[in-house]
Amino acid sequence: MRRKLGLFAMAPAALAAILLTISPAVAGAPVQGGTLRAALTASAPTLDPHSGTHLAIREIGLHVFENLLAFDAKFQIVPQLAERWEASADGKVYTFTLRNGVKFHNGREMTAEDVRVSVERFRAVAPRRNELDGLAKLEVVSPSVVRMTLNKPDASFLAAIANPICQLAILPKEAVEGRPINKADIIGTGPYKFVEWIPDRWVRLARFADYKPEGKAEAGGFGGARSAYADEIRFVPVPEPGARVAGLQTGEYEFADFLPSASIPQLTGDRSLRIVRLGPQNYPTVYFNHTGKFKSLKLRQAVQAALNMDEIMQVANDGDGRVDPGLYFKEQVWHTTAGGKLYNQKNPAKAKQLLKEAGYNGEPVVFVTNTSYDYMYKAAQVIQEQLKKVGMNVTLGVYDWPGSLAVRKDMTKWDLFTSSHSTRFDPSANDFYFREKTTFFGYKNPKMEVLLDKASAATKFEERYKIYEEVQKLTYEDVALLKLYDHYTWQGHSAKLQGYTPWVQVRLWNLWREK
Amino acid sequence: MTVYVFRRLLGIFPVLILVALGSFLLVHLVPGDPAMVMLGNDATPQQIQALKTQMGLDRSLPEQFALWGRQVLRGNLGESFFLGRPVTQSLIERLPATLQLALLSLVFSLLIGIPAGILAAVRQNTKWDQLIMITAMGGISIPSFWLGLFLILVFSVQLGWLPSGGYAPLWDDFWGGLRILVLPSISLGFMQAALIARMTRSSMLEVLRQDYVRTAKAKGLDWWRVTLKHALKNAMIPVITTIGTAFGVLLGGAVIVEIVFTYPGLGRLVVLAVQRRDYPLVQGALLLASVIYVLVNLAVDLLYGVFDPRIKYE
């Protein structure tokens, strides 16, 4: 595997730059300057990129930090801080050559030593560190070359390096060495540099003058050339949906995330705004506690047969979504409908029969959900009703999100649990659900472990695809968990903002305000 | 009086010890785990345990309380798990925002509440009285978040007169900051204005029926003098208690209004801290709120003497 960023790849960007210089007045030409105020739903719990998987961390972090590799709009891995990489024939040794002249926001040039220290720190503190468990040796070959040696071939290794969720961001050595979780200095190599964080008020980022966009802008996603046009971005946490809508309408924010469905008809009528659909954003999921009464396959099958996903989607998200069995979205190369016959059966008669065969006698089923994510709570209410109709005695345990996570830890306190899957960039990101060692819901199936081992050892896409197809099929047959529906969300921005493409999450680079 | 104030200030300590113990137990007994919140949904039990050890949450509750208590006695409220900075600093940063919102809301509620209460009392059982009392009933019943959203819809979205949220310190940008504060102050102050109006009315009615008021009127004193000087001053004691409580509530953080108006005050900080189970921050904020309450109560008690010189402090 080898990729290079050649001169040809840079040609369109250079051409665009020349055109911009000659005729800045051309309609649609990017304009530099201004402050962009973006209303996000949540306050980032921390800005340390290695610290957590919270959405707000990466929404801000991806503007400041970069990884060695990144995912493009097609979910393919492209170089970011690495100029190229090479894998040995046995798939165990990866050699990364770094881009020359990349500067950190503190003015120092990035070297292989910074990469080593950042990766070491990630392995020490990051929640996602187990994805690098197979990394046996990490060597600095030269100031611009890093070599990583694995215990055994691991097809998901590059995806772990590129994953934007809890980024394996490269920070300067002095900002991370020996720092515990949540304590890194916020210094990256991205198009925007960190200026100020007043928790709950804003995070201010400023354009990084020394940033050089690399690669093709049309690569999209998190990769390719990323240009900073706004002088400043202010990420403002606005948890109240009504306040995000009002702020967008009054022009206090040029961009707002997660707009409530009910406000969309009103907002689309406003000519000063552009409303875009970000779909799909995640999928809500129901987990079974496999160590309790749902040890019984028949009982799990009964729940699977009873659910009507169309109805759940209608109530949980006003119908904004898609009923699809894929554990990966249709937009992703990993999508498959394997096992899909068992999804969205809407068959109460079959469910009742299965309950009878399982010997279920109205024992109480505790369904733990949360009100922090409105759609999960609504989905749980519909599911409760649907299960009641087939004769299950379901009681809801309603908590806030941290409360529900704490209850989930005690396997004697719950039978069903709601959560959601954000976009997974590589199927291996779901492996931990199905492995006995790492799962939180007590799932255990040797057949599944064999499949996952095979997937991990496979190196070709086609081979891995087939194995993950099997994994999905087995997930449905074994009713390991239940995917509900693809959840869509809405975003809005001022009509003056140009260049915005909705994809996975908020991305405000390559975006400018028309004068 | 100095001895009295000193004694009252000393009395803060037992209150603080109780609040410290209560808040500590409350936040630790609510299900939830800051390590789980920080690491996210996908963290493995081993990772969570490692972070808990780092945060010191693997120790027993009495041990944790003793450690925290020792810190507090040295004037250190600890460090916020999530903000990564001292709790005292985080609270001090929020205090000015909350203070300016609380003061403006109080001014608004006094300007509306006291004249409305007086008018309702002197025009008892007239249309004025009914109108004021119905409005006051509305003020008490309408939830502040609803009023806030309604005001945003009318004055920000439709008319475009005032911003729908944000924050600017008044000492940096007085007029800009004031414009931002108008709508949240009204939503917050409306309920307090209603409470103050009702209390002023009932207290005034009682005083207006007293013999000395009748005597003053019989002596031919003009209406304004009788009502505003003789009656109102004597009717103020219960009103001041209401104002004191209102100010305490406003300073403690107006949670809902701060969320609706995206206002970075103490209330929002506390909510966020609770949502994330940021124990040191919740405990620190509760301690601060109780100190504020005790001080406001002390100020109210001292004000009694201004309005009623018979009250002596020993």
DSSP codes, A38-65: EEESS--S---TTS---HHHHHHHHHH-
HSE toward the beta carbon, residue A298, CA cutoff 13 A: 10
Chain A interface disruption, residue of B30, B42, B46, most A CBs within 10 A? B42
Q: Which residues of A touch B146 (CB under 8 A)?
A: none
Rg of the Cα atoms in chain A: 24
Q: Which residues of B touch A51 (CB under 8 A)?
A: 38
Say whether A246 and B152 touch across the interface (CB within 8 A). Answer: yes
Could you tell me whether strands A486-494 and A255-259 are parallel, antiparallel, or unpaired per DSSP bridges? Answer: antiparallel
Could you tell me whether strands A202-207 and A145-150 are parallel, antiparallel, or unpaired per DSSP bridges? Answer: unpaired
Cβ-based neighbour number of residue A19 at 10 Å: 12
Closest Cβ opposite residue B36 in set A198, A239, A405: A405
**What pLDDT was estimated at residue B253?**
55
Rg of the Cα atoms in chain B: 24
- Indicate the length of chain B as a whole number: 314
Contacts of A159 (CB under 8 A, 6+ apart): A77, A425, A426, A428, A429
CA B128 to chain centre: 30
pLDDT of A109 above 70: yes
**What pLDDT was estimated at residue A216?**
78
**Interatomic CA distance for residues B233 and A37, integer angstroms:** 50
Q: CA–CA distance from A161 to each of A488, B56, B125 (Å)? A: 27, 31, 76
**What pLDDT was estimated at residue A7?**
35
Residue A150 belongs to what H/E stretch? strand A145-150
Say whether A238 and B47 touch across the interface (CB within 8 A). Answer: no
**Interatomic CA distance for residues A431 and A157, integer angstroms:** 13
pLDDT band for B145, please (50, 70, 90 cuts). Answer: confident
> Are the beta carbons of A322 and A488 closer than 8 angstroms?
yes
Mean pLDDT for A375-395 is 96
Say whether A406 and B32 touch across the interface (CB within 8 A). Answer: yes
**What pLDDT was estimated at residue A334?**
92
**What pLDDT was estimated at residue A412?**
94
Closest-CA distance of chain A to residue B39, Å: 5
**Interatomic CA distance for residues A513 and A497, integer angstroms:** 4
Compare all CA atoms of chain A with the CA of B97 and give the residue at the minimum distance: A201
How is residue B165 written in tokens?
Answer: 């949220």
State the burial class of residue A20 (Cβ atoms within 10 Å of its Cβ: 0-12, 13-18, 19+). middle
**What pLDDT was estimated at residue B256?**
83
Each residue of A191-217: pLDDT tens digit? 999 999 988 789 999 999 999 888 777
**Interatomic CA distance for residues A41 and A375, integer angstroms:** 15
∠ Cα B76 B271 A126 (to 5°): 75
Mean pLDDT for B263-281 is 86
**Interatomic CA distance for residues B70 and B64, integer angstroms:** 10
pLDDT of B47 above 80: no
> Are the beta carbons of A116 and A174 closer than 8 angstroms?
no
Mean pLDDT for B225-246 is 85
**What pLDDT was estimated at residue B268?**
85
> Are the beta carbons of A370 and A399 closer than 8 angstroms?
yes
**Interatomic CA distance for residues A214 and B260, integer angstroms:** 41
pLDDT of A5 above 50: no
DSSP secondary structure of A272-314: TEEEEEEEEEEEEEEEE-TTTGGG-HHHHHHHHHH--HHHHHH
DSSP secondary structure of A376-419: HHHHHHHHHHHHHHTT-EEEEEEE-HHHHHHHHHSTTS-SEEEE
3-class secondary structure, B92: helix
**Interatomic CA distance for residues A165 and A93, integer angstroms:** 24
pLDDT of B46 above 90: no
Say whether A249 and B157 touch across the interface (CB within 8 A). Answer: yes
Each residue of A298-337: pLDDT tens digit? 999 999 999 999 999 999 999 999 999 999 999 888 999 9
Q: Which residues of B touch A403 (CB under 8 A)?
A: 30-32
Closest Cβ opposite residue A181 in set B51, B93, B163: B51
Mean pLDDT for B44-69 is 83
Partnered with residue A367 across adjacent β-strands are: A396, A416
Mean pLDDT for B226-251 is 84
Closest-CA distance of chain A to residue B260, Å: 6
Say whether A400 and B32 touch across the interface (CB within 8 A). Answer: yes
Peptide bond into A325 cis (omega under 30): no
Interface contact B153, partner A, CB < 8 A: yes
Each residue of A136-147: pLDDT tens digit? 999 999 999 999
Closest-CA distance of chain A to residue B85, Å: 10
Mean pLDDT for A50-58 is 87
Say whether A127 and B43 touch across the interface (CB within 8 A). Answer: yes
Four-residue CA torsion sign, A395, A399, A405, A409: negative
Closest-CA distance of chain A to residue B275, Å: 7
Q: For residue A34, is it left (φ>0), alpha (ψ between -120 and 50) or beta?
A: left
Compare all CA atoms of chain A with the CA of B276 and give the residue at the minimum distance: A402
Residue appearing with tokens 């665009």:
A16
How is residue B29 written in tokens?
Answer: 């007994």
pLDDT of A16 above 60: no
Q: Which residues of A touch B51 (CB under 8 A)?
A: 181
DSSP secondary structure of B281-309: HHHHHHHHHHHHHHHHHHHHHHHHHHH-T
Compare all CA atoms of chain A with the CA of B262 and give the residue at the minimum distance: A238
**What pLDDT was estimated at residue A15?**
37
Closest Cβ opposite residue A246 in set B39, B156, B264: B156
Interface contact B156, partner A, CB < 8 A: yes
Of B67, B207, B238, B49, give the one whose Cα is nearest residue B124: B207
Chain B interface disruption, residue of A240, A267, A283, most B CBs within 10 A? A240
E-state strands within B133-235? none
pLDDT of A6 above 60: no
**What pLDDT was estimated at residue A22?**
36
> Are the beta carbons of B299 and B98 closer than 8 angstroms?
no
pLDDT of A10 above 50: no
**Interatomic CA distance for residues A144 and A97, integer angstroms:** 6
